[in-house]
Amino acid sequence: MLYVVILFLFAAITLYFLLGGADFGAGIIELFTSNDNKHRTRKTSYQAIGPIWEANHMWLIITVVILFVGFPTIYSEMCVYLHIPLLIMLLGITARGTAFAFRNYDAIKDEKTQGFYNHIFVYSSFVTPMFLGIIAGSALSGQIDPTAKTFAGVYIFSWLNWFSVSVGLFTVALCGFLAAIYLIGECPEVYDVKRFIKKAKAMNIAAVILGALVFLASYVEHVHLADWIFGNLLSLTAVIAATLSLVLLWFIISDKKNKQWIRVLAAFQVSMILISVGHTRFPRFVIFKDGSSMSLLTDHATGKSIDDLGVGLLIGSLFILPALGYLYYSFKKKGNETVEEH
């Protein structure tokens, strides 16, 4: 049952990255859209993510619940040493979720308040995935130092370092990329399609550059990222697969018929990156500066808790997955019609 729970944990993280990430990305794209086109981007993203955005963020809740029920030590240690980035991420989630709901449900749509919501929405859409990336980078890179003597040593340099920050920026670029690819298939007008293709390419270039920065930072911070990834076959294959899918994506992105394929490719590409890193560090989930780590295979809750959690997740997914599938299907089927604003 432990493996079922671990599988759910990874599935939830991956789905959150893909779905929640595309959702954050919609805000990032809006941030990097010229003022003339901002309202077009807003309209498309409202229609595309409006009905599903709440559900997309539930994967984070599932992740957290799995962690604190199944891996309570890991959860509580992360909460202690990564308190500050978690807090900033939470503020980002709060600001973003409320701004998105407020701007759509404000009964009076005057420019001043809408502008205010938009500001909050786009900046928090940038900050939140950035800190999610920072948290992931810090957990895996071995920068957490519980024995440090100062406040900054324990609670700040654990996450404020070149490696974690570049992982954060890399995450932002990936989210923007996912969103752009997703939105390509959502807009009825050729003008917008072209815009989003351009955005997708720009975000992809940004991701490649920032990915290189991650490698560079890993040398500076003595994180043996290259060894992890190139040192084992599965991670290497995953990285090569991601690169190949990227090349393929560039070739077919402009063709309208391929809009489902480019989504699959983009999701594949991002999943491969997650698998590549996840595999090389598994079962370690949090790594400390002295080289010790917390492992999914040893630092888990005992017997019955894990079993019940596994059963709960299995039963839960019987309810959730069909309903979620039908939600996406229903609003996809009529995707090119205008969502009536209610």
Partner 1 sequence: MDDFIAARSQMALSLGFHIIYSCIGMVMPVFMAISHYKWIKTHDPVYKNITVAWSKGVAIFFATGAVSGTMLSFELGLLWPGFMKHAGPIFGMPFSLEGVAFFIEAIALGFFLYGWNRLNAWFHWVTGIVVGISGIASGILVVSANSWMNSPSGFDFVNGKYLNIDPLKAMFNEAWFSESLHMTIAAFSATGFAVAGIHALMIYRKRNVHFHSKAFKIAIIFGAAAAILQPLSGDISAKGAAKRQPAKLAAMEAYFHTQSYAPLVIGGIPDTAAKKVNYGIEIPGLLSFLVHDNFKEPVNGLDKIPVKNQPPVAVTHYAFQIMVGFGMLMMLIGVLYFIALWKKKDWFTKGWFLKMFIWATPAGFIALEAGWTVTEVGRQPWIIQGVMRTSEAVTPMPGIQYSFYLFTFIYFTLSVFVIFLLKRQIQMVPELYDR
Q: How far is CA 329 from CA 16, 45, 273, 307, 323, in A?
A: 19, 17, 27, 33, 10
Q: Which is nearer to partner 1, 55 or 248 (CB)?
A: 55
The 3-state DSSP class for residue 106 equals coil
Q: Which residues lie closer than 8 Å to 160 by C-beta, 6 or more apart?
A: none
Least distance to partner 1 from the beta carbon of 119, Å? 14
11 binds partner 1 (CB under 8 A): no
Q: Which is nearer to partner 1, 145 or 221 (CB)?
A: 145
Least distance to partner 1 from the beta carbon of 52, Å? 6
What residues between 175 and 204 interact with partner 1 by CB under 8 A?
none
Q: What is the spatial distance between Cα 63 and Cα 58, in angstroms, rounded to a whole number?
A: 9
What residues between 208 and 267 interact with partner 1 by CB under 8 A?
none
Q: Which is nearer to partner 1, 87 or 226 (CB)?
A: 87
Phi first, then psi: give them for residue 295, nearest 5 degrees: -115, 145
State both tokens at 272. Answer: 């491969």
**Residue 93-132 contact track with partner 1, rule CB under 8 A, x = bound:** xx--xx-xxx-xxxxx------------------------
Among the listed residues 166, 145, 170, 167, the one whose alpha carbon sits nearest the alpha carbon of residue 156: 145
Q: What is the spatial distance between Cα 153 and Cα 81, in angstroms, rounded to a whole number?
A: 10
Phi first, then psi: give them for residue 309, nearest 5 degrees: -65, -45
Among the listed residues 145, 178, 176, the one whose alpha carbon sits nearest the alpha carbon of residue 77: 145
Least distance to partner 1 from the beta carbon of 139, Å? 14
Among 58, 208, 239, 241, binds partner 1 (CB under 8 A): 58
Among 247, 257, 302, 329, binds partner 1 (CB under 8 A): 302
Among 43, 51, 153, 335, binds partner 1 (CB under 8 A): 51
314 binds partner 1 (CB under 8 A): no
76 binds partner 1 (CB under 8 A): yes
What is the DSSP code string of 224-247? -HHHHHHTSHHHHHHHHHHHHHHH
Least distance to partner 1 from the beta carbon of 185, Å? 18
